[in-house]
Amino acid sequence: METGLLILNIAIMLLLIFALFYMQKKHVSFSKRVFTALGLGILFGFILQFAYGAGSDIIAQSADWFNIVGNGYVKFLQMIVMPLVFISILAAFTKLKLTNNIGKISVLILGLLVGTTAVAAAVGIGSAFGFGLEAGQITAGEAETARGTMLEERSVEMEGNTLPQQILELLPANPFSDLTGARSTSTIGVVIFAAFLGIAYLGVRRKTPEHAELFAKIVDAFYAVIMRVVTLILRLTPYGVLAIMTRTVATSNFDAILSLGKFVIASYVALAVMFIIHLLLITFAGLNPLTYLKKAFPVLTFAFTSRTSAGALPLNIKTQKSLGVSEGVANFAGSFGLSIGQNGCAGIYPAMLAIMIAPTVGIDPFTPGFIFTVILIVALCSFGVAGVGGGATFAAILVLSALDLPVALAGLLISVEPLIDMGRTAVNVSGSMTSGILTSRITGDIDSSTYNDMNAKIEAEA
């Protein structure tokens, strides 16, 4: 009986995949196919949840098969991240796109990422205050207690890792190891290594131009091949979104989500406000926010469903290019945004936790001094998160430890972590793209005609 139901579920998934393939053959736009995949995934996931229940063996077995498509797609994206970052930064030098402004561009991107994270912290504090969130309102079960113990253990491991040490972790001691993604900060290490090679290329071009010309041709050839691989992988986006969304909805524990409904709603209100702030920043820069929304929809949908900023990087860079951002700036913004200044994971989330947990140790969380301290620490830790692996969990540990608050209480939210993480990841990716767009605008490097050209969208290439 179970085998028959499993085969039925797999057959339905294959049928939905075929429907998306048919839409592709009929040249339906990329954005519409992604949106359709999102809707079909939610619908199929709810049907599975209703038919079998979230914890059933049938759903677990079906999810394993669905993961071949969903997780397989994510792995393909992660496969190309390091080669893409490396060759794109290098190509920016050989094509003379970054040579005069590299210092200014780096400072602007980092400043915007950390600055918007400070704003995100303030938004998170406001949401926690508005919804009256307190950790004491949440009941701890076995899973929450186990999660809290794990967070405490991780906090002990991280003690003594100062901000200067975390910054030092960004530098690439072994670039070949970083190309394998061996460290949490490998992506930034690859960016730095590629920038050094690019600067060296400029020096060689002045002294022995024939060698530089040969090197530039080799870089251009590799760049063309890597970008073709990116295009091939991005064609799989609708199928990946379908499988990931189906699995997520089918395996979600809605009873646990309902019990923490106020925190979930407060989190998404804060995330929505932060996304609106991104749109306002783009508007103040003299650009149409609706154009950004339309072009960014596929990458934000993928980030939301997959919960991986790293996996979204190729789509992130493609989207920035379709918005008139140069290759080099897009890569710097996307790469730094993976582990520095994440608006959702390192801004809103730890700030909300700090406000919720403070009353448990007798601290009034809404005094001006405490609020200012939280915002400052969140901003600083959002830069230091890269040194300990990045992500919401590490950001929370850093911030709570710095404020001398009980880290274990962050484990109370384990049951809704996946749901909230979807929105956080989308806001992280939006923040990195916004920093790239604003940096290009400030430096006068943005191509406004490309930004406003609705034909210059990802579907034209994917």
The CA R_g of the chain, rounded to the nearest whole Å, is 22
164: left (phi over 0), alpha (psi -120 to 50) or beta: alpha
pLDDT beyond 80 at 262: yes
Q: What is the pLDDT of residues 61-103, one digit of tens each?
A: 998 999 999 889 888 888 888 888 888 888 878 876 665 677 7
Q: What is the pLDDT of residue 230?
A: 85
pLDDT beyond 80 at 319: yes
Asked if 94 and 201 count as a contact pair (C-beta separation under 8 A), the reply is: yes
**Mean pLDDT, to the nearest integer, of 383-391?**
50
Q: How far apart are CA 417 and CA 394, in angstroms?
A: 14
Q: What is the pLDDT of residue 121?
A: 93
Cα distances from 270 to residues 275, 348, 365, 448, in angstroms, run: 9, 7, 18, 30
Q: What is the pLDDT of residue 389?
A: 41
- Who wins on pLDDT, 234 or 436? 436
Q: What is the pLDDT of residue 103?
A: 77
Asked if 78 and 338 count as a contact pair (C-beta separation under 8 A), the reply is: no
Q: What is the pLDDT of residue 143?
A: 52
Domains observed in the chain: 2-460 (1.10.3860.10)
Q: What is the pLDDT of residue 460?
A: 42
CA nearest neighbour of 89 among 189, 176, 170, 167: 189
Q: How far apart are CA 310 and CA 285, in angstroms?
A: 27
Q: What is the pLDDT of residue 263?
A: 83
pTM exceeding 0.85: no
Residue with tokens 């970008």: 227
Percentage, residues of the chain above pLDDT 70? 85
Structure token pair of residue 216: 């530039």
Q: Which residues of 251-281 are buried (b: 16+ CB within 10 A; e: fewer)?
A: bbbeebbeebeebbebbbbbbebbbebbbeb
Structure token pair of residue 283: 């508007």
